[in-house]
Chain A
Amino acid sequence: MAATGMQAATAATAPAAARRPSRLRRVARRPLPALGAVLLALLVFSALAAPWLTSIDPFEMNVVDRLMPPDGTYWFGTDAYGRDIFTRTLYGGRVSLIIGASVAVASTVIGLVIGVVAGYFRFADAILMRIMDGLMAIPGILLAIGLMSLTRASIWVVIVAITIPEVPRVVRLVRAVVLSVREQVYIQAATAIGTRFPRLMIRHILPNTFAPLIVQATYIAASAVLVESYLSFLGVGTPPEIPSWGNIIAEGRLYVQLAFWNILFPSVFLALMVLSINVLGDGLRDMLDPRLARRI
């Protein structure tokens, strides 16, 4: 019985004290984050190098070869228009990468600015946090769907629609860090020797937010890739003529029974990308600070 208690105790408090083993050994002991990074790198490569990995045009229709099962020519089979699923899946990765990266950067930057203002200026805090509470009361996908209805769909509109629901979580995180840091003695000391606000913020307060923000941004990227595919799957996301994973699956769903490969391959790529980003995020979290940004 005591042993299990000890196990729990060491698992919860382990990283702090022990002497740091070599980097290689740390990777070997927890191989998942490294595997995630390698998998993500492969997916990024397959998306960027798509024109060299396949000689087929992702838009080329071929009426004779409709709904062909996977074979030597069409590795992932073809869709209802005779287009090559393998090619379209590779190109679809580009859309997911652009959207995942853009949403992660945009929501982090916007959330950082709002969070700093809310955390540092009392008068703005009440108003800003009420707005964030209101935004968080609306389920993210529902808000994104609502935003998508406002204007003609494009990749940029998708990015905005996914970014807005992600902002409040970043704001809360940044605000919490700023609130706790501003009470520290070294901030008092810096203020006492006459440090001005911009320098105080950039040199002394903001660096404390970086570690949790990087972890949070990783999770946001994973979530954005997934949400884009959901929006496109529902027909309210990326314009249907662009081969994003969600769009390929949305078109393929009509033929689930006849040609399941239409949805299988893009779904598996999608799952692998989200998985690799999530695993990477978990690894970063454990590496940067196990207490920060515990995933809810």
Chain B
Amino acid sequence: MWFYVVRRVLATLPVMGVVAMIVFLMLRLSPGDPAAIIAGDHATSKDIAQIREHLGLDRPLAEQFVRWLGQLATGDFGVSIYLERPVLGLILERVEPTLALSVTTMAFAIVLAIPLGVIAAWRAGSWVDQAIMALSVLAFSVPVFLIGYGLVIGFSLTLDLLPVQGFVSLGEDPIAFLRHLVLPTVALGLVYTALLARITRATMLETLNEDFIRTARAKGLGEPRVLILHALKAASVPIVTTIGTGIALLIGGVVVTESVFAVPGIGRLTIDAVLQRDYPVIQGVILVIAGVYVLVNLAIDLSYSRLDPRIRY
């Protein structure tokens, strides 16, 4: 077991190394001179030369990369060109809204999707199943901003029940914090719900065909017990895996949702950075998000043996 844990943890290193390389090469391999891109449209050639020397862009690529990795290892993600402040600090300042929205969305989706998926699989082929599946395709297809603005027009502007947009810190006012999160969570959560409901249904369909389900029914267990204690538990590994890989989809949606609801999170930071061509910030955000993604999926991987005793290392 411990051997496996160590091996899995070490296996994340090459992935993060590749992410770092992609992020590094993105700027270097882009058409055009990175120094000129950073300097902007109105820079003189002297400005450009200065930036090039300042960032070490005149050195060999390999040397630049190793030096950059060394800086990353010490937690130095560079300095924002536009705001002239350390990138890591800028990201940490914006973590709360993004993290809060991601967590509430995941909770919302899991609570909604798993019962829907179980019911759809249990009544496979019935109108309930078909309705749940049709709604999930619909949720996959409707853009976040249509749901978002629809909710704003309905619940905020017309009924005046919830705030239109913005974010309030949990420490400042917990009630306002939650009220501001309701609409973004629903707008963003539907896609994730659809994804989880589909995978829950698909794995439950397979599990419900297994012999141990027939045995459980034969010994007279009630249907809820069969479905939840026996089938859902056995089907949990693919569902949990999808919760993990779905984070990529979720984070993409967070960026758009933050924009719809004017939430000052990491998504807003990224878009501002792109509009200002603030490359250290863009690179930092991609690295941090990819790191979170890899770590969450590592944790999920390591939880498999807990979820399913058939899995041993």
Interface residues of chain A, those whose CB is within 8 Å of chain B, are 1-2, 4-5, 7-13, 32, 130-131, 133-143, 145-151, 222, 226-227, 229-230, 233-236, 249, 253, 256-257, 260, 263-264, 267-268, 270-271, 274-275, 278-279, 282, 294-296
Contacts and interface: CB of A to CB of B under 8 A. Distances in A.
A134 B15 contact: yes
Contacts of B108: none
Contacts of A296: 195, 199, 242, 245
B125 A145 contact: no
Contact of A1 (B15, B16, B31, B217): B217
Interface in B220-255: 223, 242, 245, 247-249, 251-253, 255
B143 A138 contact: no
A278 B145 contact: no
Contact of B141 (A131, A151, A227, A278): A278
Interface stretch (B2-10, B287-295, B303-311): B287-295
A134 B19 contact: yes
Contacts of A139: 247-249, 251-252, 289, 293
Greatest chain A CB density within 10 A among B32, B141, B275 is at: B141
B143 A226 contact: yes
A143 to B, nearest CB: 7
A8 B209 contact: yes
Greatest chain A CB density within 10 A among B26, B146, B209, B294 is at: B146
Contact of B22 (A5, A138, A148, A282): A138
Interface in B40-61: none
A163 to B, nearest CB: 15
A260 B205 contact: no
Given A230-B143, A267-B145, A235 B275 contact: yes
Contacts of A294: 202
B145 A150 contact: no
B30 A150 contact: yes
A138 B26 contact: no
A143 B33 CA distance: 20
Interface stretch (B166-174, B177-185, B278-286): B278-286
- B-side interface size class: 35 or more
A142 B143 contact: no
B198 A295 contact: yes
B145 A249 contact: yes
A275 B19 CA distance: 33
B93 interface: no
Interface stretch (B66-74, B109-117, B149-157): B149-157
A136 B12 CA distance: 13
A147 B282 CA distance: 10
Given A142-B252, A150-B27, 7 more contacts: A4-B223, A5-B209, A138-B22, A226-B143, A234-B271, A271-B143, A275-B142
Contacts of A260: 149, 153
Interface of A is mostly: helix
9 contacts: A7-B125, A133-B18, A134-B16, A137-B16, A145-B270, A145-B271, A146-B23, A146-B283, A253-B260
In the A-B complex, the 5 residue pairs with the closest CB atoms: A134-B18, A141-B252, A150-B30, A275-B141, A267-B146
B207 to A, nearest CB: 9
Contacts of A271: 141-143, 146
B145 to A, nearest CB: 6
A256 B274 contact: no
A226 B146 CA distance: 12
B37 interface: yes
Contacts of B195: 296
A222 B242 CA distance: 20
B312 to A, nearest CB: 25
A133 B293 CA distance: 12
B208 A235 contact: no
B209 A9 contact: yes
A257 B223 CA distance: 49
B299 interface: no
B19 A278 contact: no
B21 interface: yes
Contacts of A264: 146
A5 B208 contact: yes
A227 B122 CA distance: 34
A140 B248 contact: yes
Given A139-B251, A233-B256, A263 B145 contact: yes
Nearest to A252: B149
Contact of B274 (A13, A32, A227, A236): A236
Given A150-B31, A282-B137, A7 B124 contact: yes
B208 to A, nearest CB: 4
A9 B251 CA distance: 36
B80 interface: no
A278 B194 CA distance: 13
B205 A12 contact: yes
B104 interface: no
Contacts of A11: 124-125, 205
